[in-house]
């Protein structure tokens, strides 16, 4: 099975890229968001999800392991196949999907291609408890942020600390993640953990 490819962008097609790896062209299907950022001739590394069927082998490519993880997770929902999962990742960044699930925002999820209201409801309901708390909140632990610094790293640290504090107060991880995700939308830029905890508790009290 192929898990990763490094090569040069040879051709950009409708929904796929031909990646030249040492003279061999691999057809890799990618989300619209990924394809928009590619240019012929540039070096590219993709995390690969390989789907083997009776009549074909299809490669799906992602610019990050997080995106590939969401591609897999989305397909655990009944009615979500590779096409729908790729459509969701083409419409929203992984963090946006995570926050929509945390906030149970089915209307946002329904904006993706081929996702109607019923399927959107199923996605936000079934994935709320499956996604790890920090992923649901759309943040990462500091050690998971490669080269993260400045405001982004500080924001991730504050959100992670706020989630941890709410869990320590006895709230479930999914509840804490949803509260902090909502708090981050309402807080001023650069809000610290204390402010996120305060706003998170207000969300819990509703």
Per-residue pLDDT at 189: 72
CB half-sphere exposure, 84, CA atoms < 13 A: 18
Residue 7 parent element (H or E)? strand 4-12
Q: Is 31 helix (H, G, I), strand (E, B) or coil?
A: coil
Does the domain at residues 4-62 carry the CATH identifier 2.40.50.140? yes
Which CATH number is associated with domain 65-127?
1.10.150.20
Q: Is 24 helix (H, G, I), strand (E, B) or coil?
A: strand
Per-residue pLDDT at 39: 92
Q: Is 17 helix (H, G, I), strand (E, B) or coil?
A: strand
Contacts of 185 (CB under 8 A, 6+ apart): 99
Q: Where in the chain are the domains?
A: 4-62, 65-127, 137-204
CA nearest to 86, candidates 8, 136, 26, 17: 17
Residues 185-204: tens digit of each pLDDT: 788 777 888 888 888 888 88
Number of residues in the chain: 206
Per-residue pLDDT, averaged over 105-128, amounts to 93
Q: Does residue 167 register a pLDDT over 90?
A: no
Tokens 């196949």 -> residue: 81
Contacts of 80 (CB under 8 A, 6+ apart): 74, 88, 119, 123
Q: Does residue 138 register a pLDDT over 80?
A: no
0.85 surpassed by pTM: no
Calculate the average pLDDT of the chain: 83
Residues 21-32: tens digit of each pLDDT: 999 999 999 999
């Amino acid at each position: 099975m192929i898990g990763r490819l490094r090569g040069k962008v040879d051709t950009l097609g409708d929904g796929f890229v031909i990646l030249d790896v040492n003279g061999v062209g691999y057809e890799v299907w990618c989300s619209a968001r990924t394809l928009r950022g590619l240019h012929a001739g540039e070096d590219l590394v993709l995390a690969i999800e390989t789907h083997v069927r009776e009549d074909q082998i299809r490669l799906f490519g992602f610019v990050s392991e997080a995106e590939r993880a969401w591609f897999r997770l989305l397909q655990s929902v009944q009615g979500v196949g590779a096409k729908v999962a790729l459509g969701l990742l083409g419409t929203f960044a992984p963090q946006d999907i995570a926050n929509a699930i945390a906030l149970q925002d089915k209307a946002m999820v329904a904006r993706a291609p081929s996702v109607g209201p019923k399927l959107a409801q199923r996605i936000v309901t079934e994935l709320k408890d499956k996604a790890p708390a920090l992923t649901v909140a759309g943040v990462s632990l500091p050690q998971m942020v490669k080269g993260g610094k400045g405001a982004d790293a500080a924001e991730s640290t504050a959100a992670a600390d706020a989630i941890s504090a709410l869990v320590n107060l006895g709230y479930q991880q999914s509840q804490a993640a949803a509260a902090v995700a909502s708090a981050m939308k309402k807080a001023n830029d650069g809000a610290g953990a204390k402010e996120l905890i305060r706003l998170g508790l207000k969300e819990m009290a509703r």
